[in-house]
């Protein structure tokens, strides 16, 4: 029965019951963690075979190059082709990086600040003011990069089809200080939303007052379906090219959540005009990224087909964790009218909405009971959720039993926080 339909006496009785359960949990000395989108050891084990590559000296040679030595700053041609196969982007538009797509994003923003890109009239660092659109709830590490560089973060509400495009279009139309937008277009962090075709098309086509407006397209979960067929993402580069806006898009992805989270291979794709500006700096910054790790990946993942087979093994593990989490939420919270949560088809996150003003309290209650959650507000620019209602849940890392225990603690905390709020309102 909905809490909101209960009278004060009923609520007090329920609070007493839930409090007792919570006290009981606190005495268990739990140490659980639902805070970060990390693959579990069980998932990492799926790639153990990759450790064996390159097996010998001969394996280190590819495309006529010695992968052990300096050189090939934009990546092994075979690795560019591999990522081209995965993304549908031409190999020549792809720069293969190190182990972190986040670093590539940082470097692209740093490059824009220091030097500017294709259509910049000057380096962004010379502008009085830079604003950047942050679909929220969204990815805290994205927001942190643009905050570090002193940009003003502009929150754009997420909808079930992606960022609210009416608001995006309005924000970019006349204001040349709005220089870009962060996007996780598939199985978005944390809502799990995949951008609708129309959202992608509008992002590619919309007129922007800033000629060098950037779409930071972090397609981290491109292959991370729970079931086949997964969501489909409209290819943004094609729309951008058709609209004459190819210079707008920087496309990132990596194998961090395909092979090893700390030892994957990342890539960035961009227009030829932007690559022309990027390559000289890249050639000065490094004599090449780690090509043996590229070879390791090529031997293990081979091509898109094999990679998709490999991703089914990930899906089996991670889908199970999501099902456990969702089934606890369903059984403990459904019908109470105090929380809503997403049911993504892929990715690493569930996004939960609790009553306004309760997210920080739920977080606190969970922490005290030994369950680490992503801090309330983290999914919003500056770490501030204006409604204090969103929580990001990441069930991938803990064991099945831990996910279940953590979910039960969370539900108890949500009930308790909601009851406290309802009772306070009634006074």
Among 6, 19, 100, 177, the residue binding its own copies under the rule CB under 8 A is 100
> Using CB under 8 A, which of 285, 306, 343, 387 touches its own copies?
285
Handedness of CA 131, 137, 139, 144 (dihedral sign): positive
According to CB under 8 A, which one of 284, 424, 425, 427 is a site residue for its own copies? 284
Q: Which is nearer to its own copies, 202 or 296 (CB)?
A: 296
Dist CA 158 CA 258 (whole Å): 26
- Which residues, 30 to 49, sit near its own copies by CB under 8 A? 36, 38-39, 41, 44-45, 47-48
What is the rounded distance in angstroms from the CA atom of residue 8 to the CA atom of residue 206?
52
Residue number with CB closer to its own copies (239 or 402): 402
Distances (CA, A) of 33 to 5, 29, 261: 33, 13, 17
Give yes or no for a contact between 247 and 100, defined as CB atoms under 8 angstroms apart. no
Q: Which is nearer to its own copies, 60 or 308 (CB)?
A: 60
Measured at the alpha carbon of residue 110, what is the angle toward residues 251 and 119, in degrees to the nearest 5?
65
Return the number of the residue (41 or 424) whose C-beta is nearest its own copies.
Answer: 41
One residue of 12, 21, 30, 60 binding its own copies per CB under 8 A: 60
By CB under 8 A, residue 19 contacts its own copies:
no
Q: In which region does residue 413 sit, left (phi positive, over 0), alpha (psi from -120 to 50) or beta (all else)?
A: alpha
Name which of 26 and 65 has its Cβ closer to its own copies: 65
Smallest gap from residue 90 Cβ to its own copies (A) = 25
**Residue 12 near its own copies by CB under 8 A:** no
Q: Which of 275, 264, 182, 180 has the alpha carbon at shortest distance from 223?
A: 264
The reply on whether position 125 binds its own copies by CB under 8 A is yes
- State in angstroms the smallest separation of the CB of 318 from its own copies: 14
Q: Could you tell me where the beta strands, DSSP code E, fall in 99-221? A: 131-136, 152-159, 162-163, 178-183, 214-218
Q: Which of 11, 18, 22, 67 binds its own copies (CB under 8 A)?
A: 67
Please check whether residue 194 is in contact with residue 187, taking contact to mean a CB–CB distance below 8 angstroms.
Answer: yes
DSSP code for 73: T
Q: Which residues here bind its own copies, judged by CB under 8 A? A: 36, 38-39, 41, 44-45, 47-48, 51, 54-57, 59-60, 66-71, 98-100, 102-103, 106, 110, 113-114, 125, 141, 144-145, 148-149, 256, 260-263, 280-281, 284-293
């Amino acid at each position: 029965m909905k809490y909101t339909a209960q009278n004060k006496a009923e609520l007090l009785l329920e609070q007493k019951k839930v409090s007792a359960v919570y006290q009981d949990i606190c005495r268990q000395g739990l140490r659980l963690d639902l805070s970060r989108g990390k693959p579990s050891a069980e998932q990492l084990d799926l790639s153990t075979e990759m450790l064996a590559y390159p097996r010998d000296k001969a394996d280190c040679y590819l495309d006529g190059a010695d992968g052990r030595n300096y050189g090939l700053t934009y990546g092994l041609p075979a690795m560019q082709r591999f990522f081209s196969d995965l993304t549908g982007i031409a190999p020549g538009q792809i720069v293969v990086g190190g182990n972190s797509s986040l670093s590539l994003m940082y470097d692209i923003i740093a490059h824009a600040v220091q030097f500017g890109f294709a259509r910049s009239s000057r380096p962004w660092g010379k502008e009085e003011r830079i604003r950047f659109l942050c679909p929220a709830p969204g990815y805290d590490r994205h927001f942190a990069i643009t905050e570090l560089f002193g940009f003003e973060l502009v929150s754009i509400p997420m909808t079930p089809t992606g960022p609210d495009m009416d608001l995006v279009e309005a924000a970019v139309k006349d204001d040349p200080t709005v220089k870009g937008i962060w996007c996780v277009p598939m199985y978005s962090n944390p809502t799990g939303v995949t951008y609708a075709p129309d959202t992608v098309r509008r992002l590619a086509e919309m007129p922007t007052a800033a000629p060098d407006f950037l779409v930071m397209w972090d397609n981290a979960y491109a292959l991370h379906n729970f079931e086949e067929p997964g969501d489909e993402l409209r290819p943004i580069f094609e729309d951008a090219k058709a609209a004459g806006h190819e210079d707008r898009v920087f496309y990132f992805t990596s194998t961090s959540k395909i092979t090893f989270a700390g030892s994957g291979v990342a890539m960035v794709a961009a227009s030829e005009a932007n690559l022309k500006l990027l390559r000289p700096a890249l050639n000065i910054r490094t004599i090449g990224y780690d090509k043996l790790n590229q070879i390791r990946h090529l031997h293990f993942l081979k091509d898109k087909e094999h990679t998709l087979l490999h991703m089914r093994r990930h899906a089996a593990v991670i889908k199970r964790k999501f099902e456990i989490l969702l089934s606890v939420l369903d059984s403990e919270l459904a019908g109470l009218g105090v929380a809503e949560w997403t049911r993504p088809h892929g990715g690493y996150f569930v996004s939960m909405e609790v009553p306004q003003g309760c997210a920080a309290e739920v977080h606190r209650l969970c922490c005290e009971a030994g369950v680490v959650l992503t801090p309330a507000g983290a999914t919003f620019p500056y770490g501030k959720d204006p409604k204090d209602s969103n929580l990001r849940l990441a069930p991938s890392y803990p064991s099945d039993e831990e996910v279940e225990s953590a979910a039960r603690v969370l539900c108890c905390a949500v009930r308790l926080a909601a009851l406290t709020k309802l009772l306070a309102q009634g006074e």
